Amino acid sequence: MTDLDLLHFEQLKKDVQAQYLKEHTPSYDDISKWKGIDIIYFQEDLRKKAKGNISEKSFYTYFKNSPVTKLPRIDMLNLLSIYAGYDSWYGFKKQHLFAGELLKDDEDISDEDLTEMEKTVSGSPNLPITENPAQKQPENVADNTDLQKYTSENQPINKTEEITTVSKTNEQKPKKNFIRKNVWALVTSILVILTGLLGFKDVLFSQTYKYCFTDADRGVGVVNTLEIKVIKENESPILYKIKPGECFYYSTKDKNLKMQISSPFYEYLEVNRSLENAPDEEIIELKPDDYKMAAYYFSIKDANGDPEELKRKRNQLESLISKNAVIYQIYDNNIYGIERLDKQKYITLVTTPTTSLKNLSVIEMKKDNNGKIISIKFKIATDEKNK
């Protein structure tokens, strides 16, 4: 990667922005100010025209910062170049050459690949052939006497004699050193075993209980992640998250168990169990909150672009959500973590047909005494494999 590559990428971002603005009207013309629904629409257009996708995290990394200090991967560069109307990243650079810039045919090789190639070359053995000094004779030897003197002075040391001497010395060491080492090794092993047994005493004498959860009205598994808080006396609560369809396994040697179970779509439930005669497995029914579940269902419902169906979907959400509702969208990145939406913006987001809505998940939902939704916290997951 060169500084010219970074400058080319800044050019490419402008071309991508110009391409999108030809057919769309985002909140801002400047691509670095896009967020939320603008990014979702851009991702949709990218999938439609370039047959690929970049994640929300990648968008914030490379489009929210200008100029960037790191070049994206070549597959992302090719994808954005195709979207902007070029055949590849190389083809884009070829059409935007700087003064004096020359492109090589192999420029699409990444810096990482070049580094690995350099490591391979530098790591190859390159050992010169050396001569044994004892076998090399002086160029100018006067007679046989000088030759014998030179050979004697440069004769290699006899390592066999030295090793034999050292071995004999080691054999003369007292045998009690060997016994002492083995005794210490035996004592150490015993201490390690005892420490391990003490550390796992709770596991050795504990009982494992299995709790599965079902929808009380429908008789099927719960449709949302559960949060389970295990309450122990004189201890802070322990929080567990259980995915839909999974059971909760808990090992304990205590005689009682207290759990607080909560979920965005189910009513809060507190469970108290005496474990002295309790079964190893139990199914716990959770009462669904139909109002919250309805709001979620209409948020993710696919209307297939049917105007009448979209209208019904909007009307349903209008009646379920309070006009003063506080709604937050959570993002999976460190640059832009959370965005607040009003009721109408949320309804517009979830009634616009995009493939991203299938990844919408509700983190938290609250309602008032009249059943109106007054708080929603949600996220739209991104598939990092499609960056």
- Quote the DSSP letter at residue 352: S
> Do residues 330 and 35 lie in contact, with contact meaning Cβ atoms separated by under 8 Å?
no
Dig out the tokens for 202 from the structure: 């709770």
> Do residues 274 and 202 lie in contact, with contact meaning Cβ atoms separated by under 8 Å?
no
129-164 pLDDT, tens digit each: 444 444 444 444 444 444 444 444 444 545 444 445
Number of H helices, E strands in the chain: 13, 11
Q: Say if residue 19's pLDDT is above 90.
A: yes
In the block, residue with structure tokens 């190639």: 117
Kind of pairing, strands 207-215 and 248-252? antiparallel
Q: How many domains does the chain have?
A: 3
Look at residue 143 in the predicted model and tell me its pLDDT.
45
% of the chain at pLDDT higher than 70 = 72
Of the two residues 56 and 177, the one the predictor is more confident about is 56
pLDDT band at 197 (very low <50, low <70, confident <90, very high): low
Look at residue 83 in the predicted model and tell me its pLDDT.
94
Report the SS3 class of residue 71: coil
pLDDT band at 18 (very low <50, low <70, confident <90, very high): very high
**Average pLDDT across the chain, whole number:** 77
284-336 pLDDT, tens digit each: 999 988 778 888 888 877 767 678 888 888 898 999 999 889 999 888 665 55
Closest CA to 265 of 303, 230, 217, 312: 217
239-284 pLDDT, tens digit each: 999 988 899 999 988 889 999 999 888 888 999 999 888 898 999 9
Look at residue 335 in the predicted model and tell me its pLDDT.
56
What is the arithmetic mean of pLDDT over 209-220? 89
Extract long-range pairs of 270-275: CB within 8 Å, 24+ residues apart. 275/207, 275/209
**How wide is the angle at C-alpha 250 spanned by C-alphas 379 and 222, nearest 5°?**
40
CA torsion, ordered 252, 253, 255, 261, to nearest 10 deg:
-10
Look at residue 99 in the predicted model and tell me its pLDDT.
77
Regarding whether 318 and 259 lie in a shared domain, the answer is: no
91-132 pLDDT, tens digit each: 999 888 887 777 765 454 444 444 444 443 344 444 444 444
Dig out the tokens for 180 from the structure: 């002492």
Question: E strands, the chain, where?
Answer: 207-215, 226-231, 238-242, 248-252, 256-263, 266-274, 281-286, 321-330, 338-341, 360-367, 373-380
What is the arithmetic mean of pLDDT over 175-193? 68
> Do residues 307 and 291 lie in contact, with contact meaning Cβ atoms separated by under 8 Å?
no
Whether residue 55 lies inside any domain: the answer is: yes
Q: Residue 256's CB: how many other CB atoms inside 10 A? A: 14
Range of the structural domain that residue 92 is part of = 3-113
Return the H-helix or E-strand segment holding 152.
helix 144-153
Regarding whether 355 and 271 lie in a shared domain, the answer is: no
CATH number of the domain within which 370 lies? 3.10.450
Which of 89, 113, 137 delimits the end of a domain? 113
Q: Residue 214's CB: how many other CB atoms inside 10 A? A: 14
Whether residue 372 lies inside any domain: the answer is: yes
Which of 269, 286, 303 delimits the end of a domain? 286
In the block, residue with structure tokens 């040391």: 157
Q: How far apart are CA 163 and CA 121, in angstroms?
A: 39
Which of 113, 133, 154 delimits the end of a domain? 113
Closest CA to 354 of 300, 294, 308, 293: 300
Regarding whether 381 and 309 lie in a shared domain, the answer is: yes
Sheet with 338-341, strands from edge to edge, namely 338-341, 321-330, 373-380, 360-367
